[in-house]
């Protein structure tokens, strides 16, 4: 998906502002001229003036809504950035709390971290200098202790817990 840049948004806002000013001054000068000349509007001129007035209101509302929406987006981005900062800095604390609540042994904690990092059973066995079968048994215990259905489900459960922890911490 192609993201719209701030420069593009600003360019559109400038174009809207120019159109807004053009139509606004066109209305002002048109009304002024009719008042100075004391001439009544013909139906077609009045309809034209009403359409220009509608365009001014619509463009003005569009500019205002764009600014409001940008403000909301900036607030959401700042909030998300703060959440991410908090989660990154408190990740170790989260791991410790969750692993304790699940009753993991020290070995299971090491295995869980490696699983969460995406290591395969063979890679974990090599890193821990043990057999693949031992790693499979340990991962099976992790899955049982977390009430997960599979290794992938364990990762999903952890992510859900991680996100819940982040929401509670705010």
Sorted by where each begins, the domain ranges of the chain are: 6-88, 90-168
Rounded CA separation 108/150 (Å): 16
Residue 8, pLDDT > 80, answer yes
Beta strand spans in the chain (E): none
Q: What would the mean pLDDT of 63-84 be, rounded to a whole number? A: 88
Rounded CA separation 24/28 (Å): 6
List the Cα angle 14/20/21 in 5-degree steps: 90
Contact 115, 155 (CB under 8 A): yes
Record: fold of 90-168: Arc Repressor Mutant, subunit A (1.10.10)
CA distances, 72 to each of 79, 118, 167 (Å): 11, 36, 20
Percent of the chain with pLDDT over 70: 92
Q: What would the mean pLDDT of 131-154 be, rounded to a whole number? A: 92
Query: Would you tell me how many other CB atoms lie within 10 Å of the CB of residue 10?
Result: 11
Query: pLDDT class for 17, splitting at 50, 70, 90?
Result: very high
Radius of gyration of the chain (CA): 31
At residue 4, the pLDDT reads: 80
Residue 44, pLDDT > 60, answer yes
Give me the numbers of helices (H) and strands (E) for the chain, helices first please.
7, 0
At residue 43, the pLDDT reads: 94
At residue 165, the pLDDT reads: 57
């Amino acid at each position: 998906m192609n993201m719209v840049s701030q420069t593009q948004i600003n360019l559109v806002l400038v174009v809207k502002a120019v159109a807004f000013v053009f139509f606004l001054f066109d209305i002002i000068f048109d009304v002024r001229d009719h008042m100075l000349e004391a001439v009544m509007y013909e139906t077609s001129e009045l309809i034209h003036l009403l359409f220009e007035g509608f365009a001014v209101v619509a463009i003005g509302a569009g500019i205002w809504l764009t600014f409001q929406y940008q403000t909301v987006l900036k607030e959401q981005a700042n909030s998300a950035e703060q959440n991410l900062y908090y989660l990154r800095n408190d990740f170790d604390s989260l791991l410790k709390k969750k692993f304790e609540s699940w009753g993991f042994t020290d070995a299971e904690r090491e295995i869980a971290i490696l699983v969460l990092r995406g290591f395969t059973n063979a890679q974990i066995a090599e890193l821990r200098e043990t057999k693949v079968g031992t790693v499979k048994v340990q991962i099976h215990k992790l899955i049982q202790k977390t009430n997960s259905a599979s290794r992938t489900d364990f990762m999903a459960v952890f992510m859900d817990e991680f996100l819940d922890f982040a929401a509670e911490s705010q």
